[in-house]
Amino acid sequence: MPIPQISLRPEVAEHLRSVFLNQELSAAVGPSEAESRFHSLLECLSHPPSHTCVRASTHLAPVEEIRLRLKDELKKQQLPNSSAPSAEILPHPVIPDVLLLPVDGPSPVQQLSSEVVVGAQCGSAVLRGAQVFSPGIVACPKYMKRGDLVSVFSDSEGKCTRGAFTFQGLKVFVGNGVAQKDRADIFCSDQPSRGVGVLMTDPLYQSPSFDGVLPSLVFLQNLPSVVVGHVLGPRPGERILDMCAAPGGKTSHIAALMRDQGEVVALERIRNKIERIRENAEVLQLRSVKAFCFDSTRAVSDDATDGPPFPPESFDRVLLDAPCSGLGQRPNMAVTWSLKEVCSYQPLQRKLLRAAVQLLKRGGVLVYSTCTVTLAENEEQVRWALETFPCLTLQPQDPHVGAEGMPGAGLTQEQRRLVQRFSPELSWGRIDASTPLPRRAHQDTIGFFIAKFQKH
């Protein structure tokens, strides 16, 4: 059974349709092409990208050394007597610290009668190569024992009752595996169950598992998220602010690009996420990261000293990877949010942009990014920033491997060329396994947006 298109509330689907069929875009590409792009978006969002992107810790070792060590580690995952070729690992042709691995699928996997249901987040992780960890299991057969062959389904809408024996609601098949625990060990133990609950032997999408693999040398990260760090262009000795830093992937990349020379201030308003940022920096052997639990909308103060908060014009570069509706994340089989929730981020993003501009030194660089596909959170925010802050100008991006900005927000054609929108719907159905991996990597990504400004 194929993976269905992403499930959205009707009012959210209609809102997205109005975005992708806006008058300016329809005039540029034609109404039928605009409609086609919208339906391609709904299809591709529920499927994983056709590659895995790994960021190599080139501040610790050369990329080719890391590639060879990774190849050796992934060989160990192959089953004994397996005739399958070892995973292909290619260096990215443009981005020097990226390695690419192809993802094979979907495969024609036969469903079994014994069903395990996992949460939506766990199901999405399985589609990208992860095993099923016990905390992600929400339902399994009454008499499931270690060693049982099971089919794994994702509870797309989060409606399955934890501990149930079966589930008849909306669920999506993600592959088969072998139970690693008895049901009683998952649901009836005095202590929370940990470790692998189902070992995926026949997943719908074949992709290596990176759990515990070379943790200081490789970091799983979507390609557009790696591009952000390079576009920011950090240099050794600078003071850089990451305003919404959790879980710390971009923070650590900035520090690595600076060769760990300088200071990277990471702010995150949710306290329990701060430790994750610090752990990532420690594993990657980065000492220049300083993480604080703080609300970045309040990060500017004329009376501040060391901060946070900080005096105006305290930073050479600022990254605002803004909280957003996340509608570009893949794979995502269902979004249960209301239209009000989806549209709620624009005011917060503008508060953060205002603080970012104040904290940036003159001559400094501000990069704004999101992992969503709406105009309101992307191109409209660029137009608002340029109108509100005359000191800002859009800058070219290097590397620029995504598409240009979407029409419909009032940006000029030149301004749309300067921003970078990763639009997987543009290539959906037009590329396949025969398409060279680097080309697939640029096109078949999560939905993402990047704008680069300079303050004068």
pLDDT of residue 1: 63
Catalytic residue among 53, 122, 160, 371: 371
Burial class (CB in 10 A: 0-12, 13-18, 19+), 23: exposed
pLDDT of residue 105: 86
pLDDT of residue 211: 83
Give CA–CA dist 424/79, Å, rounded: 33
pLDDT of residue 440: 86
Give CA–CA dist 404/417, Å, rounded: 5
Helix axes 223-232, 249-257, angle to 10 degrees: 40
pLDDT of residue 79: 60
- Contact yes or no for 228/370 (Cβ under 8 A): no
Number of CB atoms found within 10 A of residue 151's CB: 20
Put simply, whether the predicted model's pTM sits higher than 0.85 gets the answer: yes
Please indicate whether residue 371 is annotated as part of the active site: yes
- Quote the tokens at residue 296: 């970045």
pLDDT of residue 85: 59
Give CA–CA dist 305/24, Å, rounded: 47
pLDDT of residue 86: 67
pLDDT of residue 252: 97
What integer best gives the mean pLDDT of the chain?
Answer: 94
Among candidate residues 202, 97, 183, the one with its CA nearest the CA of residue 137: 183
Give CA–CA dist 418/184, Å, rounded: 56
Burial 186-221 (b: 16+ CB within 10 A, else e): bbeeeeebeebbbebebbbbbbbbbeebbeebbbeb
pLDDT of residue 156: 87
In a structure prediction context, what are the per-residue pLDDT tens digits for the chain, which is 456 residues long? 678 999 999 999 999 999 999 999 999 999 999 999 999 999 999 999 999 999 999 999 999 999 999 999 998 877 665 545 567 899 999 999 999 999 988 999 999 999 999 999 999 999 998 999 999 999 999 999 999 999 999 998 889 999 999 999 889 999 999 999 999 999 987 778 889 999 999 999 988 888 889 999 999 999 999 999 999 999 999 999 999 999 999 999 999 999 999 999 999 999 999 999 999 999 999 999 999 999 999 999 988 677 799 999 999 999 999 999 999 999 998 898 999 999 999 999 999 999 999 999 999 999 999 999 999 999 999 999 999 999 999 999 999 999 999 999 999 999 999 999 999 999 998 887 778 888 888 899 999 999 999 999
Task: Return all residues near 163 (Cβ < 8 A) that are at least 6 apart.
Answer: 138, 139, 187
pLDDT of residue 82: 52
Name the phi and psi angles at 282, rounded to 5: -65, -45
